[in-house]
Amino acid sequence: MTSKNNNISRRSFITSTALASAGLLVPGALAWALPGKRQRYKIAVVDLMILKRQKLSAFQLAKEIGADGLEVDMGGLGARETFDNKLADPEVRQQFLDKAKELNLEIPSLAMTGFFAQSFATRPTYQKMVGDCIDTMKAMGVKVAFLPLGVQGDLVKNPELRPAIVERLRVVGKMAKQAGVVIGIETTLDARAEVQLLKDVGSDAIKIYFKFSNPIKAGRDVCEEMKILGKKRICMIHCTNEDGVWLQNDLAVDLQKIKKTLDKMGWEGWLVVERSRDQKDPTNVKWNFSANVAYLKKVFQGK
């Protein structure tokens, strides 16, 4: 900023402060003169996991839970040619966008969770499925989509599927690159193997959607895995473990250490709550997700 601009900003601040002191400034009028604090980390919940898959009411519940945003699912897949996506209807899509704006919530990502149970490696219409998701992303201004390789695409248990998955991810990468979006994949591989997978795919539009519970289940260190991947390969983070206890009571998840690691890496972005529901009452959505969101905000946002 030039000296002239600095002087203008200083005079604007002094003038606004004087007006406020004199009771002549309406509430909020000083905000434009003060530098806004940008959140390095934002917290979201998943509409599927709060039991409101593609339901408009998910936004109100996310707001009550205390989240900054909502990851919206693309709908069920089953044996269909593509997702059961209500957002393909422009009217429904606009309702979602309007509700998010009304509640001051963001939609950081769309989720293709249908691939948790279905095979990305073998489904013949995978291009249409991913293409429908990308079209929805473009229509809604969403920049990231979640693509789990799922049970049938588990590359640890089914390494023979690797060539097919690499080839398909290359195709998806080209589609995403052309649309200006990112597809975040979730695998069961360790971080070094994920780095190699991304190198083989060769597209900067394909990144890792990191999930705490995957390395924890495999006995790997969460922070070391994130450091191996590096900030540029991680697009978003599912920041919960398996169900049983809340994050604040989970001895396997050291959020303070994780934050320090991410800070040192220079990473910033969305932390998305998926599970970590307390076994005493796992179906109590607001109770469980509010607790986890509040703890994440305390650690990552200082709230």
181-204 pLDDT, tens per residue?
999 999 999 999 999 999 999 999
| pLDDT one-digit tens code per residue, 83-121 | 999 999 999 999 999 999 999 999 999 999 999 999 999
CA distance 53 to 47: 5
DSSP state of 281: S
Phi, psi of 168 (to 5 degrees): -70, -40
CA distance 288 to 159: 36
| pLDDT one-digit tens code per residue, 222-250 | 999 999 999 999 999 999 999 999 999 99
Tokens of 84: 């059961």
Give the pLDDT score at 37.
63
| pLDDT one-digit tens code per residue, 18-39 | 333 333 333 333 322 334 467 8
Whose CA is closest to 67, among 48, 46, 51, 84?
46
CA angle 125, 148, 295 (to 5 degrees): 150
Burial profile 44-56: b = 16 or more Cβ within 10 angstroms, e = fewer: bbbbbbbebbbbe
Phi, psi of 45 (to 5 degrees): -120, 170
- Global pTM reads 0.87
CA distance 239 to 98: 27
